[in-house]
Amino acid sequence: MAVQTQTRWQRARVIEVSDAAEGVRRIVLAPERPEHAAPGTHVDVELDVGNGVRRVRSYSVVRSADGGRRLTLSVRLSPTSSGGSAAMHRLRAGDELTVTAPLQNFPLAVGATRYVLVAGGIGVTALVAMASALRRRGADYELVLVGRSRAVMAYVDELAAEHGDRVRIHVDDEGTPLVVDDLVARIARTPAAAGTELYMCGPIGLMNAVSRSWTEHDLPATNLRFETFGSGGRHPAEEFLVRLPDLGREITVAPDTSILDALEAAGVETLSDCRKGECGLCLAKVVGSTGVVDHRDVFLSDSQKERSDRLCLCVSRAVAAPAEAGGGPGAPAVLSLRLT
């Protein structure tokens, strides 16, 4: 059984597409029932990923203009995508697609003493509107932008122009990578530390590092907020098999599908809520694996991930073991699971 928030679908027309950075498309939609999208909201988009297969993908609303008559999304083309991001990159002005109204599960709280927004790569899309809202409120905030190279970082110039010296830019290939511990230690040293909220969206490795450091500096756990969708894992996604010994089933999980989606498509009942690796409701026991589990959630601790006896079905995956560990070329990983 999937526990999901009520979904209101509608048609939306693509009114503009352009490049926001290398490999990142900026797509402006005009929904048939406009509704202002608050900072932190996203829309789910139903996409035809080929061969009649339809998938739902979530994208942050970067900007909401004219009462929601213009919703801007931005999508990075995943090199391993055979589905969602490739379909979004094929969109042209005039195309139509099916989307939800704006959905909120990353709300910006009111009243924090200070705000720190940390965006890794395409994660910036979840934070652009938040930063603008904080500027308009006259809040004390900083926006930390992190990327591999400036060419692939969307909205950097726009954000620097809007937020001036409240923006800190860290670019790996410019020799200015983010040192997570330095950032969190600096937050912990300020008089406003206990009232500082940190909002982040980016690769799972970055979010885990921030979360670890946040705990080590004894900062309040409730002041750390994540947006996780789109977080990549440690390994590129590849096809693997899930065995359910209790049900006598074996199900293939394609590179662009989650285990949860694959199980649901095969008629296997599962529990889920956030579908973003945050709530832990979809946890399953790992009873065997010929490969490596690529944990992509922010629910399990580092030590639980290392033990790897449970995984979040909605985001985590498996990849074939390297040859030296017994993995054969072309042999997909096989993951045996017990649903709880």
| Sites of contact with ligand FES (CB under 6 A) | 272-275, 277-282, 297, 299, 312, 314
- Between residues 56 and 160, which has the closer beta carbon with respect to ligand FES? 56
- Between residues 27 and 313, which has the closer beta carbon with respect to ligand FES? 313
The nearest distance, CB 310 to ligand FES, in angstroms, is: 11
337: burial class by Cβ within 10 Å (0-12, 13-18, 19+)? buried
The nearest distance, CB 119 to ligand FES, in angstroms, is: 22
3-state secondary structure at position 209: helix
- Between residues 209 and 281, which has the closer beta carbon with respect to ligand FES? 281
- Between residues 108 and 279, which has the closer beta carbon with respect to ligand FES? 279
CA distances from 112 to 15, 137, 214 (A): 37, 12, 17
Q: Report d(CA 116, CA 143) in Å as an integer.
A: 6
Q: Where are the alpha helices (DSSP H) in the chain?
A: 84-89, 128-137, 156-163, 180-189, 204-216, 259-265, 302-307
The answer to whether 220 and 247 are in contact (CB under 8 A) is: no
The nearest distance, CB 49 to ligand FES, in angstroms, is: 21
3-state secondary structure at position 326: coil
The nearest distance, CB 211 to ligand FES, in angstroms, is: 15
The nearest distance, CB 10 to ligand FES, in angstroms, is: 25
Q: Which residue has the tokens 């048609």?
A: 11
Q: Report d(CA 134, CA 80) in Å as an integer.
A: 35
Give the count of beta carbons closer than 10 Å to the beta carbon of residue 42. Answer: 24
- Between residues 104 and 132, which has the closer beta carbon with respect to ligand FES? 104
The nearest distance, CB 75 to ligand FES, in angstroms, is: 22
Count CA atoms within 13 Å of residue 182 on its CB side: 6
- Between residues 128 and 259, which has the closer beta carbon with respect to ligand FES? 259
